[in-house]
Amino acid sequence: MNKGVVYLVGAGPGDPKLITVRGLECLRRSDVVVYDRLASPRLLRYMKEGARKIYVGKLPDRHTMKQEEINQLLVDLALEGHTVTRLKGGDPTIFGRVGEEAELLQENGVSFEIVPGITSAIAVPAYAGIPVTHRDLASSLSIVTGHESPEKLDRSIHWDKVTNATGTLIFLMGVAKIGYIAEQLIRHGKPATTPVALIRWGTRVEQQTIVGTLESIERIVKEANFQPPAVIVVGDVVLQRDKLKWYEQKPLFGVRVLVTRARAQASDLADRIEELGGEPCELPVIETREPREAAAVEAIRTALADAASYNWIMFTSVNGVEYFFNWLDRFNVDIRRFHAARIAAVGPRTAEALRKRGLIANQLPAKFQAEGLIEQLEGQLKPGEKVLLPRGDLAREILPRELKAKGLVPVELDVYETVIADSQDEQAFEWIRNREIHAITFTSSSTVTNLLEVLRRNGFEDPVAQLAGIDVASIGPVTSKTASEAGLSVTIEPEDATIEALVEALVQHQITKRSKADPS
């Protein structure tokens, strides 16, 4: 068997988008990913299908796997012929023990590559608004480990040289020793009034920053019950924070949002949440697919074969557009055969999906629901006209019912079906279990019912009770009605049933909450 290869990859400090392009390439091609708790779990969604993931992370009071065992694990996996990514928080060469891992790989003849990452020593302060160097304040910096006993610190750190050699001091993993560190720095010449900042879980939704001086920081840490992991910054650059704390000023900072829509559609919503400072937690509880039963496929073929007979085609979703054209391709049906049909669309996204295919929708309702479409077309619909409705199997009956009431002939065509998604994310369940989700977005009634069912299937006896207290953002009244009937309390609903309006409503809700919490 051929030997595999091991990529020793720096994942960055927490924000998954801070991984390097090369690191992401390695992650995507690997058969096995070995990761720890400082690497963002959201990076694991980039693993190729069927790849294994092995958690070897360390907690402050518990080591899941000893370093020597991790070293040997990498060797064993490579000797079995696997391509392996060892995903490490920050940069693997800065207190990441990558040298030990690489050395054993080399001794066993295993090919390896060290992929640098963005170290928390510079990224975390930057996210807190603290540049580690500044032309007027600090032209150099030192990065020091603080994760040792005082005796080991004294043996590994020459306090007199460190204290006076550089402008900015960065201590990693030193929260528990902050009092001793401050004491030594003062003893060796740092003024007691030197500014100090501690940033916990920097670049992540949990980011928390406290600021003090060398003489006050230990007391502040104890009063705040400030826990690791955190980066400690000592120096005048800390004073820049008041002017430069950009990340914490974003409107969704500190908000973890559960995104329940299908994975293929979730990226736009997730990206928008990230841009606004929130953290999307993607838990797709639905997926769409082509109907698989022979009778359903034959019904589609028959309906498309009768293309010239339709007076209208009414699209009610982007999925309806996508799957409709997929079926046209499958059955080799030219769109020009629908030459007699006028085209209507519900919602701007649906109209845009049509526009990309060179089709301009005749009508676009002000209300992005089926009711709005009927209202907008009032006076244009004529009895006896034949209307094709390409949509999903769970679509509401109001549109065909209203068309029939007006004397038209609707042809309901289920071009796709909605099912509960198979693949789920254990990290999402952990966040829900620990009540670390702050808001949930529902973009359809099926996302509501399926989320509750997915939670039941994964050990949540009372999903509604588990979600109590979390802000529920519903895209529109129909979805809100489903959520309310299921026992959930909807706190956010936009005027327009669009993703953009949903995100804006979520932002306004957070702004209102913060203003109430801090009237000043």
Tally Cβ neighbours within 10 Å of residue 267: 13
- Residue 314 known to be catalytic: no
Tell me: pLDDT of 371 over 80: no
Tell me: pLDDT of 313 over 90: yes
- Residue 518 known to be catalytic: no
Mean pLDDT of 378-389: 91
- Banded model confidence at residue 157, pLDDT cuts 50, 70, 90: confident
Consecutive H or E run containing 62: strand 62-63
- Banded model confidence at residue 385, pLDDT cuts 50, 70, 90: very high
- Banded model confidence at residue 42, pLDDT cuts 50, 70, 90: confident
CA distance 70 to 283: 30
- Cβ–Cβ under 8 Å, residues 9 and 26: yes
Q: What is the pLDDT of residue 380?
A: 87
Selecting among 3, 31, 53, 58, the annotated active-site residue is 58
If one compares 151 and 255, the residue with the highest pLDDT of the two is 255
- Cβ–Cβ under 8 Å, residues 440 and 257: yes
Tell me: pLDDT of 478 over 60: yes
- To the nearest whole number, what is the mean pLDDT of the chain? 90
If one compares 483 and 95, the residue with the highest pLDDT of the two is 483
- Banded model confidence at residue 57, pLDDT cuts 50, 70, 90: confident
Q: What residues contact residue 501 under an 8 Å CB cut-off, 6+ apart?
A: 494, 495
CA distance 202 to 310: 58
| Strands 471-474 and 409-420, bridge-based pairing | unpaired
Selecting among 15, 36, 91, 414, the annotated active-site residue is 36
Tell me: pLDDT of 120 over 80: yes
Paired with 87 in beta bridges are 9, 35
Tell me: pLDDT of 147 over 70: no
> DSSP letter at 477?
H
Q: What is the pLDDT of residue 237?
A: 96
Alpha helices in 255-338 (DSSP H): 263-275, 294-305, 318-330
Place of tokens 């999906």: 353
Mean pLDDT of 145-167: 72
- Banded model confidence at residue 504, pLDDT cuts 50, 70, 90: very high
| Strands 342-345 and 312-315, bridge-based pairing | parallel
- Banded model confidence at residue 79, pLDDT cuts 50, 70, 90: very high
Alpha helices in 157-237 (DSSP H): 159-165, 178-187, 217-223
- Cβ–Cβ under 8 Å, residues 36 and 69: no
CA distances from 330 to 290, 295, 325, 357, 419 (A): 11, 16, 9, 17, 22
* Per-residue model confidence as pLDDT tens digits over 102-115: 999 999 999 999 99
Mean pLDDT of 460-483: 95
Mean pLDDT of 244-268: 88
Selecting among 15, 47, 173, 314, the annotated active-site residue is 173
Q: What is the pLDDT of residue 411?
A: 95
Q: What is the pLDDT of residue 149?
A: 57
Tell me: pLDDT of 62 over 70: no
State percent of the chain over pLDDT 70.
93
Mean pLDDT of 164-176: 87
Q: Where would I find the beta strands (DSSP E) of 191-255?
A: 195-200, 208-213, 230-234
| Strands 195-200 and 230-234, bridge-based pairing | antiparallel
CA distances from 399 to 9, 344, 349, 396, 457 (A): 53, 12, 19, 7, 33
- Greatest mean pLDDT among 41-45, 400-404, 506-510: 506-510
Q: What is the pLDDT of residue 251?
A: 95
| Strands 409-420 and 286-289, bridge-based pairing | antiparallel
- Greatest mean pLDDT among 290-299, 362-371, 508-517: 290-299
Task: Report the range of poorest mean pLDDT among 28-37, 370-379, 424-433.
Answer: 370-379
Consecutive H or E run containing 154: helix 150-156
Q: What is the pLDDT of residue 452?
A: 95
Q: What is the pLDDT of residue 159?
A: 86
- Banded model confidence at residue 63, pLDDT cuts 50, 70, 90: low
Alpha helices in 30-135 (DSSP H): 67-79, 98-107, 120-127
What global pTM score does this model have?
0.80
CA distance 359 to 142: 61
- Cβ–Cβ under 8 Å, residues 398 and 370: yes
